[in-house]
Amino acid sequence: MTVYLGVDGGGTKTEFVCIDAQGAVIARALTGTTYHLQVGLDEALSRIARGIGEVCATLDLAPTAFDYVFLGLPAFGEDAGIDPLLDAGCARVLGHDRYRCDNDMVCGWAGSLACADGINLVAGTGAIGYGERHGRRARAGGWGEVFSDEGSAYWISIQGLQVFTKMSDGRLPSGPLRQILIDSLRLDSDLAICARVMGGSGMTRDEIAALAPLVAQAAEAGDTAATAILERAGQELAEIAEALRVALDYDEHERVALSWSGGVLTKQPAVRAALLRRLETRAQYDVIAPRHEPGLGAALYARLLGSRPE
């Protein structure tokens, strides 16, 4: 049996999707995030091994039976010291060299555009854009949550927390967002948010990112500051698309296929609408709803890589 495995690592979860030669899904598995900056290298590799093991158990196969494996991992390609360790760890788990590690941004593009030329914007826990055109590859955004990832759930949440503090101490008029956060985080005082988010048992990156829907909820309740955050998120993502259009050398009059993946753009229509409004004022884009989810995209990309002559 010909089998291909795709691994879509994300800031919140990691999905393992196995397909046959025709592209039909024959096994799936799910583990937690493999973002090594959050869980550490050893735990990231442990979760990769666990997910692959679950797929193998479902199919009664050894890891050596996969014809090709593609692993899209968070932050891969961004640390010359860690990347070889991640790659070597994956080699040990698989027991062969028919695999490739790359950044998880590739999974979103491969799924949304079915491995066709164009640009995909990923806005989940983090945010990044990736595109391919005539064999050329480019990425933009996604420099990490400390000083980048604009338009991501984490970024939206941080902007929301900043607005909360300003509403609390009078720098902004109090709006629905303040009470929504108080209720959701069960705060007995506004200042308690400091310990809740940053204290000894504070919130992880993905837990902070999970606050983003509360900003959307506040916007729906008429909070103008929350609405402005979602508008800026869409604008930031549009800037990523524009940077990729230039990097991939599209002519200014050439139409560009563009799609998206990640919870922000799939589940928050206000951000997607803001993105599309900004793009309408720029170059010509053919906006395409995601054809497949990123996990299947990773598997399809594994099949594509496995079919290429060495």
Domains of the chain, CATH where assigned: 3-114+292-307 (3.30.420.40), 116-290 (3.30.420.40)
What span, in angstroms and rounded, lies between the C-alpha atoms of 108 and 141?
14
Cβ-contact 105, 293 below 8 angstroms:
no
pTM above 0.85, yes or no: yes
Q: Are strands 118-123 and 127-133 parallel, antiparallel or unpaired?
A: antiparallel
What's the rounded Cα separation, in Å, for the pair 186 and 188?
A: 7
E-strand spans in the chain? 3-9, 13-20, 25-32, 68-73, 99-103, 118-123, 127-133, 136-141, 256-261, 285-287
**Three-state secondary-structure class, residue 201:** coil
**pLDDT reported for residue 309:** 72
pLDDT at 252: 84
Q: What is the pLDDT of residues 40-51, one digit of tens each?
A: 999 999 999 999
Range with lowest mean pLDDT among 90-99, 108-117, 278-287: 278-287
- Please state the rounded mean pLDDT for residues 146-161: 97
Q: How far is Cα of residue 54 from the mean position of the Cα atoms in its chain? A: 23
177-224 pLDDT tens trace? 999 999 999 999 999 999 999 999 999 999 999 999 999 999 999 999
d(CA 193, CA 102): 37
| Measured distance CA(93)–CA(96) in Å, rounded | 9
Q: What is the mean pLDDT of the chain?
A: 97
CA–CA dist 261, 151 (Å, integer)? 12
Counting Cα atoms < 13 Å in the Cβ hemisphere of 265 gives 34
Residues 149/155, Cβ–Cβ less than 8 Å: yes
- The reported pLDDT for the residue numbered 267 is 96
**Rounded distance between C-alpha atoms, residue 293 and residue 299, angstroms:** 10
* Predicted confidence band of residue 310 (pLDDT cuts 50, 70, 90): low
- What is the per-residue pLDDT across 241-271, written as a single tens digit (0 to 9) for each? 999 999 999 998 899 999 999 999 999 999 9
Does the pLDDT value for residue 28 go beyond 80? yes
What percent of the chain shows pLDDT beyond 90? 96
CA-based angle 220:226:229, to the nearest 5? Answer: 125
Long-range contacts of 77-83 (CB under 8 A, 24+ apart): 77/102, 77/103, 78/103, 78/144, 82/36, 82/41
Beta bridge pairs of residue 72: 8, 102
Strands 68-73 and 3-9, by their bridges, are: parallel
Secondary structure string (H, E, C) spanning 254-284: CCEEEEEECHHHHHCHHHHHHHHHHHHCCCC
